[in-house]
Structure 1
Amino acid sequence: MPVPPLAVQLYTVREQLAADRKGTLKALASYGYQAVECFDALTDPEALRADLDAAGLAVSSTHGPALGDGTGNGADELFRAARTLGTDTVVVPFQPPERFADADGVAAVARELNEAAAKAVDHGLKVGYHNHAFELEQQVGGRPALEVLAGQLDEAVFLEVDTYWAAVGGQDVPALLGRLGDRVTHLHVKDGPINHDDPMTAVGDGRMPVLEVLAAAPAARWHIVELDHCATDMLTAVEDSFRWLKENR
């Protein structure tokens, strides 16, 4: 099967973007990245799209509040911004941990994601959900809450699995990806010591079995590098991550 394209989540370089967005985007392109995943689609998407065009970068997807006020209302602005950015994919990046504490909470999240996905179709968009560690740490009926959620999602809703936080959540990540199957179309690829607190590393420099993880999700359409925080220079880590993945995937 063809190797999915590589993107980088712009949250990784949020500090650099704040200081020099044009220069940072051009640097990402110079490392070899051809696409980015946005995290702040609602703040002047037209200007961001212009800067991305100048750097020669496409948009794989964007994070944003696709659930609106919890019923899908209020999401239209995000959907319009996503189209402006040139992507057909919106990812819900977070829901509060307490929503995954019991079966009723998980069912409510699933219902809202299904409703958002149905509404997004009118905009030519797909909707997915991105995990942190708590959706795997918290159990519902003896199963990780994320898996319970997956079982209640319509086929239109995909998962963007953050492989590092799944490992921090206590999961054998390749096994988890095998259970989730084709539902997983986007992977966040990161590396580090696999705990909640210590800084992450460039991909290939930490403890994650990165290649085994990637091989366990053959339906993935994008591999997206993301480092939440890093002890070394972030741009160097992002460049090193691209080089390692290009050489080893």
Structure 2
Amino acid sequence: MPRPLSVQLYSVRDEFAVDRAGTLGRLAEMGYGAVEAYDVTDDVAGLRRLADDLGLTVSGAHAVQLLTGEPGPVLDAVATLGTPLAIVPAGFPHEDFTTYDGLARVADRLGGLARDAARYGLRLGYHNHWWEVEPRLASHGGRPALEVLAELLDPEVFLEVDTYWAAVAGADVPALLTRLGDRVEALHLKDGPGTKDDPNVAVGGGTMPVPEVLAAAPDAWRVVEFDACAGDLLGELAASRTYVSSLEAV
């Protein structure tokens, strides 16, 4: 795959707070070729310098602040990182994903932000959790809310599908990705027991059908993430990288 495997820095938030340079260095040593930022208010110029020094690409940046304040400074920070992808990682009321009218409001807001992002040379995306997938809209054939949202979004808005949260919400993830098609620009790869509250395990060590997931969105960025880990986080990240890379080599 031409795009390097990325890791969401939220996974190492505790380690990052203590030693940014050392943590990024460990990820690079594991073989990750990219990182995804999660806090664009925290010295993005410094993060860009560290990533450049280590040969790491910034695959994207989560920017929930786009929903809470003036978008200009947030988009400028994303552009400073050198990535074209600004991603809204939730931030809307969960109730908006239970009705068509609510989904239309979400789509309208994201469309406006996408136009703002375009002025900075950026593309805007949305990242799901379970609550955008679990609701099924009876008015639309019982399809998951995220799928209905995709039809309402402006064409320039992409999706970063968190494959684990989609599975936890009851989706057949490979089938969902196939239906979403080119709308999917990035995947969050994580694994675990398939429950909402239990910690993640190394990708390939849980319930996720990872080969089928990757095959359903072959051109998407692959971004490994841990929301929580009960064991050795850095060891599990290394194991995740080894497993995903072995699938790409087949």
Normalization by structure 1: what TM-score? 0.94
1: CA distance, partners of 2:54 / 2:219: 29
Question: Residue 117 in 1 paired to residue 114 in 2?
Answer: yes
Q: Which runs of 5+ in 1 are unaligned?
A: none
2: CA distance, partners of 1:235 / 1:133: 25
- 1:122-143 per-residue CA deviation (whole Å, 9 max, x = no partner) reads 1000000000011111122222
- Letter in structure 2 aligned against 1:120: A
2: CA distance, partners of 1:175 / 1:88: 27
Q: Which runs of 5+ in 2 are unaligned?
A: none
Residues 42, 77 of structure 1: 8 Å contact kept: no
Structure 1 stretches of at least 4 aligned residues deviating more than 3 Å after TM superposition: 66-69
Q: Which residue of structure 2 aligns with residue 28 of structure 1?
A: 27
Q: Which residue of structure 2 aligns with residue 133 of structure 1?
A: 130
Question: Residue 93 in 1 paired to residue 89 in 2?
Answer: yes
Classify the secondary structure of the residue corresponding to 1:137: coil
- Following superposition, the deviation at residue 4 of structure 1 comes to 4.0
Residues 66, 74 of structure 2: 8 Å contact kept: no
- Letter in structure 1 aligned against 2:235: T
Q: How does 1:1-249 map to 2 (within 5 A)?
A: 2=1, 4-65=3-64, 67-69=66-68, 74-94=70-90, 95-140=92-137, 141=139, 142-220=142-220, 222-249=221-248
- Following superposition, the deviation at residue 144 of structure 1 comes to 1.1
Residues 9, 36 of structure 2: 8 Å contact kept: yes
- 1:101-157 per-residue CA deviation (whole Å, 9 max, x = no partner) reads 211111000011111111111100000000001111112222211111100011101
- Letter in structure 2 aligned against 1:105: G
Classify the secondary structure of the residue corresponding to 1:151: helix
Deviates further, 135-144 or 8-17: 135-144
Report the identity percentage.
Answer: 52
Classify the secondary structure of the residue corresponding to 2:201: coil
- Letter in structure 2 aligned against 1:247: S
- Following superposition, the deviation at residue 178 of structure 1 comes to 1.0
- Letter in structure 1 aligned against 2:163: T
1: CA distance, partners of 2:213 / 2:89: 21
1: CA distance, partners of 2:80 / 2:216: 33
Normalization by structure 2: what TM-score? 0.94
CA RMSD, Structure 1 to Structure 2 (Å): 1.4
Residues 136, 144 of structure 1: 8 Å contact kept: yes
2: CA distance, partners of 1:15 / 1:34: 21
- Following superposition, the deviation at residue 67 of structure 1 comes to 4.0
- Letter in structure 2 aligned against 1:227: F
Number of aligned pairs?
244
